[in-house]
Structure 1
Amino acid sequence: MRDRQDRPGVAARRPLLELVLPVLRDAIINRTLPPGERLSEGDICARLGISRTPLREALRILEIEGLVTMAAGVGAMVTPISPPDLHDRFELLAGLEAIAAARVAGRRDPATIRQILAIQRDMESASRQGSQEDYYRANDRFHQTIVEAAGNEVVLNAHRTAMWHVYRIRHATNAATPLKPDAARHHEHIIAAVIAGDVDGAFVAMRRHLEDVSDLILGRLAAGWFDAIDRDAPPP
């Protein structure tokens, strides 16, 4: 018996799934599909030129990732942003990245250290110039480099999924939040601990950094920032 992946129908659907999944995920992250929006299968299929089968497979994956919710009688909808859920995801993210930072500090790999120092310089340059796009691109590379250098595939995969929820929130606030010239300084303690091979110090520094980010984002959520942004109004 042939493996299911070898069957023509499955093989034909796989490329479509791989096309539609990132399109929908990106639309949710950048809020083209805003929180709470109902996802009409007919409209999406017509817009993307696909059948319902790969779309439903994509929606099931997005449901597992927490970006889509399936409701009886309603169907698929973009998962609303919930402070308790966001808190839990930041808590997970802090733990994952703290573990990764500790592993990287323990290894003290010269190539990894050179890489994160170069990225830090890019962040410093972007923050001085006030370029949010360049800063957050470099910031993402900084964190991703540390997670990848840790060499733990389970941490890497869990981190990737958690970050999609962070991107969704961050995208909503970037335009309304001026970038501070010293924004890149947040990573200095992490870098110092990694260079020194201080495993405990790297763990604590990374965890504190992400706890600070969590407190900032959740504070803005409580203050009504995201409701205002969705109405195209200035944040409170």
Structure 2
Amino acid sequence: MSVEDKPLHPVRGYLRSKPSRGRTTEAVTDALREAILDGALAPSTWLREDEIAATLDVSRTPVREALRRLADEGLAHKTAHHGTVVSPMSMEDILALYVIRENLEGLAARLAATRGEPGLVPALRKVQARMEALADTGDAAALSRHNITFHRLIREAAGNLYLERFLGQAEQAVRRLAPTTFAFPGRAVTGCAEHAEIIEAIAAGDPDAAEEAGKRHMRNAREIRFSKMMGA
């Protein structure tokens, strides 16, 4: 195989430009993280320092630090004497993810309803309108992007840095679950309806209703995910 015919390393397209001085580690970490979250680097893929360094035209030092950071985030796993691989996700991992996210998303909605941050409800309704317009198009990728924005707005409005951090990590893990639940028949419509319930509870300043709506939304997503995984 010639050099020209050699397949490109999956991470190459995720480094948008040459890292600026002093930001190499951050740029390499971001590129690897996005490649993992997008599925370009599949679970159990070996992350070899020399290959990644050569692909991104950087030294091995920032790659080594980037792999350490990804291991801390749970996206990579260091094996004894063999190197680092992209962390796999078992059925138990996915179940644990949804259980914790259900409670955290419920708490975020409760806090958002309690705090009543100005501008949150209009921002949520704007995202909701875009999602409703996409519901019949079958554009699951666009729906997923707007869904991420919807939940990010709520967790930021909750005003709790620890909750925001934990939900950010959960969001990353969910991005690894392909396909998005919005690709499943009927989920775009039901998901939008569940979002509407969350919005109205927050708008009414009803923490109990907001929390229950947020938790119910996650439970339904979990049930759909597992029914598809089990071939139902």
Q: Note whether the superposition's TM-score is higher than 0.5.
A: yes
Q: 1:73 aligns with which of 77, 81, 106?
A: 81
**Aligned residue number for residue 231 of structure 1:** none
- C-alpha displacement at 1:181, in angstroms? 5.7
CA RMSD in angstroms, aligned pairs only: 2.1
CA change 1:179–1:55 in 2 (3 A) is: farther
2:182 and 2:188 in contact (8 A); partners too: no
Equivalent residue for 1:105, pick from 108, 113, 132: 113
Are the structure 2 counterparts of residues 19 and 136 from structure 1 closer, same or farther at C-alpha, using a change threshold of 3 Å? same
**Runs of 4 or more off by more than 6 Å in structure 1?**
none
Which one of the candidate residues 36, 54, 65 is aligned to 1:46?
Answer: 54
What secondary structure, in the 3-state scheme, does the structure 1 residue paired with 2:78 have? strand
Q: Determine which of 124, 142, 146 is the counterpart of 2:132.
A: 124
Q: Tell me the TM-score normalised to structure 2 length.
A: 0.83
Preserved CA contact (<8 Å) 1:132 1:179 = no
Unaligned runs of 5+ in 2: 1-19
Q: How many aligned residue pairs are there? A: 212
Residues 175, 35 of structure 1: alpha-carbon distance in 2 compared, 3 angstrom cutoff: farther
After TM superposition, the structure 1 = structure 2 runs for residues 207-218 of structure 1, keeping only pairs within 5 Å, are 207-218=215-226
Question: Measured at CA, do residues 32 and 137 of structure 1 come closer, stay the same or move farther in structure 2, by a change above 3 Å?
Answer: same
- Cα pair 1:21 1:58 within 8 Å, conserved: yes
* Distance change (3 Å), C-alpha of 1:173 and 1:180: closer
Residue among 188, 193, 213 paired with 1:185: 193
More helix by share: 1
Instruction: For 1:20-99, list aligned pairs within 5 A.
Output: 20-99=28-107
Q: Secondary structure at the match of 2:197?
A: helix
Partners in 1 of 2:39 and 2:186 — Cα distance? Answer: 21
Gaps of 5+ in 1: 1-11, 224-235
2:201–2:209 Cα contact (<8 Å) kept: yes
Q: Which residue of 1 aligns with 2:150?
A: 142
* 2-structure distance, mates of 1:75, 1:101: 40
Offset of residue 203 of structure 1: 0.7
CA contact (8 A) 1:83 1:221 kept: no
